[in-house]
Amino acid sequence: MPHLLHIDSSIRGELSVSRRLTARAAAAWQNAHPGGTVTYRNLGREPLPHLDEAGGLARMTPADQHTPEQRHSWELSEKLVAEVKQADTVLLGLPLYNYAAPSSVKTWVDLLIAPGLAYDPATGAGLLGDREFVVVTSRGGGYGAGTPRAGWDHAEPWLPHGLSMTGLQPRFIAAELTLAPVMPAMAELIPLHEESLAAAERAIDELWVPAAAGV
C-alpha cells in the first residue's frame, strides 16, 4: 500500500504558504493513490530536540555501550529513519527563515544522518534514496538571478548537500514573494507573487497525474 510522509516546518500556522501548498500536494497524492496512507509530522508545532553532546556521541559509540541519554537520541533517529523508509513519497514544506532553512528542518536532517540507519558506514552508500522526495519551498522575497538579494536563499542549495549521505534527492517546487500581499512596500510585486504561486500550484497538480492511456 502506498505511503506518504508529510512534513511541515512553518511556524506561521494557518497563515503559512508552505503549509497550504503541502496540503494541496498531499491531497493530490491521495487522489492519485486511493487507499494510500499518510504519516504527518509538524516540526513547526512539535520541534525535535537539537542534536546535543549525548546525541552526537551516540553516533560514534557502539549501541551496546550507549548511556541512557545516548540511547534516547539514537532511538529517535531510528524512529525518524523508519518514517522515511516506510514512505514511497516524502513531502517536505520548507519556508525560508532569515535566508536559511528553519532550525527544525536542520535538526530533522541532523537526526537522520545516522550510520547504519541512513547510510552504510563501510561504503558510504545512502540507504534512503529509493523513494520520491518532493520539497515545497516558500520565500517571502525574490532571490533569483538579477534580484538585489540573488544568492541569499541558503535553504534550497543546502538541503541536497545536507541529505547527500542518505541518498535522498529533493525535487523542489517554489513559491516566491509571499510577503508581497501583506507588506505595503512590496505591493508592486503582488502580480509577480501571484504568478509564482500559480506556477507552484500547477507544478503540484501535475506531480502525480497518471499518463494518458495508450501513450
Cell of 198: 500559480
CA distance 68 to 134: 35
Residue 202 phi, psi (nearest 5) = -65, -45
Per-chain mean pLDDT for the chain: 95
SS3 per residue for the chain: CCEEEEEECCCCHHHCHHHHHHHHHHHHHHHHCCCCEEEEEECCCCCCCCCCHHHHHHCCCCHHHCCHHHHHHHHHHHHHHHHHHCCCEEEEEEECECCECCHHHHHHHHHHCCECCCECCCCCCECCCCCEEEEEEECCCCCCCCCCCCCCCCCCCHHHHHCHHHCCCCEEEEECCCCCCCCHHHHHHHHHHHHHHHHHHHHHHCCCCCCCCCC
pLDDT at 183 over 80: yes
Q: Is the pLDDT confidence value at 214 over 90?
A: no
The β-bridge relationship of strands 37-42 and 89-95 is unpaired
Q: What is the pLDDT of residues 9-28, one digit of tens each?
A: 999 999 999 999 999 999 99
pTM of the model: 0.95
pLDDT digits (tens, 9 = 90+) for 102-111: 999 999 999 9
pLDDT of residue 65: 96
**In the chain, pLDDT over 70 holds for what percent of residues?**
97
Per-residue pLDDT, 180: 96
Does the structure show a pLDDT above 70 at 174? Answer: yes
CB neighbours of 108 closer than 8 A, spacing ≥ 6?
A: 7, 9, 43, 48, 80
Distance in angstroms (rounded) separating the CA atoms of residues 146 and 9: 29
pLDDT of residue 209: 86
- Cα–Cα distance measured from residue 112 to residue 5, given in angstroms and rounded to the nearest whole number: 14
Look up residue 89 and give its three cell numbers: 513519497
Q: Going by DSSP bridges, is the β-strand pair 3-8/132-138 parallel, antiparallel, or unpaired?
A: unpaired
Report pLDDT for 213. 41
pLDDT in tens, 75-97: 999 999 999 999 999 999 999 99
- Cell readout for 69 is 541519554
Could you tell me which of 84, 77, 96 has the C-alpha nearest to residue 142? 96
* CB crowding 22-60: b at 16 or more within 10 Å, else e: bbbbbebbbeebeeeebeebbbbeebbeebeebbeebbe
Predicted pLDDT of residue 81: 98
Domains and CATH numbers, the chain: 3-205 (3.40.50.360)
Q: For position 211, what pLDDT does the model report? A: 47
Averaged pLDDT for residues 33-42 = 97
Q: Is the pLDDT of residue 67 over 60?
A: yes
Query: pLDDT digit string (tens) for 105-148?
Result: 999 999 999 999 999 999 999 999 999 999 999 999 999 899 99
